[in-house]
Structure formats: structure tokens, C-alpha cells
Structure 1
């Protein structure tokens, strides 16, 4: 009890320099861990958004192909290889930069989609390559391809696939 009274009666000046340094260090470590997790979740969100857009385009393309094969319809499937596949969607992604001729990375902008009118491909420019481990470059490129049945001059199916840039 005497020790406590002696400690309380002493004039308190605040935290010592050592206590301040330890507090700043702990806060710095916690902030680094928080930023690392935030970056991880941003990368995962980008990956999920790209995968979702590709899945939506594939589903819309499959629906259009089935509609084209209905009795009484005579739609040539090659038209899907010439058009922007995002036109099949009800609404384009918010990060869609438009249709461009031979766009460079600056024209597209990181984290955006673009349709290259020259080679009829859909391009996504990654924010960071680490979210897509298998990505060879910062660009992901997709095209609509025709598949022919054996011994048939007409295309049997259409697919939306990733291609090399």
C-alpha cells in the first residue's frame, strides 16, 4: 500500500520514449498486416470480377447459339466471331472502356475491359499480375471461336476462350 501511494504521488509526465517507440512499432506492424490483407482481397475481388464477366459472356453466347439453332431460325454462327461479345450482355461492365482499334495499355487503363475492333478480341488490362498467377502479361485476351463438327462445312458450336496476346 505504501508503494502504491508513493508511485501515485510521484509527478507523472506521460509515456516514456521507450513506451512510445514500442506503441508506434506495434501499430506499424498491425497496419502492415492490415494493408497486406486489403491488397490480397483487392486482388481476389479483381479476379472474381473478371471470372464473373467471362462466365456471363459465355452464358449469353450459349443462349444466343441455342436460339440460332431453333427451328425456323437461320442465323449464321460466324456473326458471333465478328461482334463485340459484351453486346450480348444486358448491361456492360462498369469498367468497360469501349471499342477501340489496336488499343495500347494507356488507352484501356488498368482494371478495364476493351473490345479490340482490329482483331475482334475482348481485352482486360490487369491492375496487378499477381492476382492471376498464370497470366503471362498484364493483358488478358478473349475471343469467340467457332468449332466445326467432323465432316460438316457449317460450325457446330461457338466458344468464348482466352487466347495468347
Structure 2
């Protein structure tokens, strides 16, 4: 009787099947991680814009320059970040996935997701930049409000 050297075809097929299942599980998990990362990036960008707006308004109040709050309400909300978000385009609709823009005419911040499934299949996310006025119509604040 001859001794067999190496693996049989069956053993090879089982090994390939195991690696296939592991690779599929890894790719699915990586996709979930990418979706989480994009949601976190968008959430942090919007949160940082909101904090920047609050800091700018608070700074004017602390200096006794409440009349300058109107400047904050009139500016682009992206101006209150330390830097522009990755893929930011001023005044134009984003041309592709992963890009931000601010439309000053409509006062809307727009983001086109790289992975729409991370945002319930939304192809674009929008926030409106609104001024808050007191009863006499003077601006006393500004906020970024989610539209969708």
C-alpha cells in the first residue's frame, strides 16, 4: 500500500470553505465598523460646529458685545470649526460621496454620505442654520437644526 503525501482534495475543500466563511465574517464586520466610523465623524463635525457657535456667542456676551451676535447668525456655521471638514465645498452642492457644503442662500449645511446605509439609506443629510431672536427681533443666538 502506498502512503499518501499532502492533503486530499476533500481536506483542501474544507480548508478553503473555512477560510471563505472567516473572510466573509471579517468583511461584514469591517463594513459595520466603517458605517460606525462615518456616523461618528458626521456626528462629531456637527457637534463641534454647534459648540463653536455657542462659544462665539458666549464670547460676545462676555465682552458685552451682544450687538455682535448678529454677525454669528449671519456667518457660515463652518467658520466656527477650527478647520474645514474633509471634502468641504463652499457654496456648491457636494459633487460626490463624503463631501460637505454650505449653501448661504438657503442657510443649509449638506453632507453626502460615503455609506448611505449608515444613515438609513439617506443620500444626503441637511441641517439649517437658524438665528434665534428675542421678542423685539434682535438676534440672541443661532443653532444648527437637523432637517432630515
Same fold (TM over 0.5): yes
What's the offset of the Cα at 1:76? Answer: 4.0
Asked whether the 8 Å contact 2:116–2:123 carries over to 1, the reply is yes
Task: Compute the TM-score of the two structures, normalised by the length of structure 1.
Answer: 0.78
Task: Compute the TM-score of the two structures, normalised by the length of structure 2.
Answer: 0.86
Distance 2:47 2:16 in 1: 46
1:33-85 alpha-carbon deviations (Å, 9 max, x no partner): 00000000000000001111111100000011112223542544343343221
Distance 1:143 1:24 in 2: 52
State the aligned residue count.
Answer: 148
User: What is the aligned counterpart of 2:107 among 108, 120, 126?
Assistant: 120
**1:138 lines up with 2:106 in the alignment:** no
What's the offset of the Cα at 1:160? Answer: 1.2
Asked whether the 8 Å contact 1:148–1:157 carries over to 2, the reply is yes
Asked whether the 8 Å contact 2:89–2:99 carries over to 1, the reply is no
What's the offset of the Cα at 1:21? Answer: 1.1
Residue in 2 aligned with 1:3?
Answer: none
| Structure showing greater Rg | 1
Which structure 1 residue ranges, 4+ long, deviate > 6 Å from structure 2? none
Asked whether the 8 Å contact 1:81–1:143 carries over to 2, the reply is no
**1:158 lines up with 2:142 in the alignment:** yes
Question: Which structure 1 residue ranges, 5 or more long, are not aligned?
Answer: 1-5
What's the offset of the Cα at 1:97? Answer: 2.7
Question: Which structure 2 residue ranges, 5 or more long, are not aligned?
Answer: none
User: What is the aligned counterpart of 2:55 among 63, 67, 73?
Assistant: 63
Residue in 2 aligned with 1:147?
Answer: 132
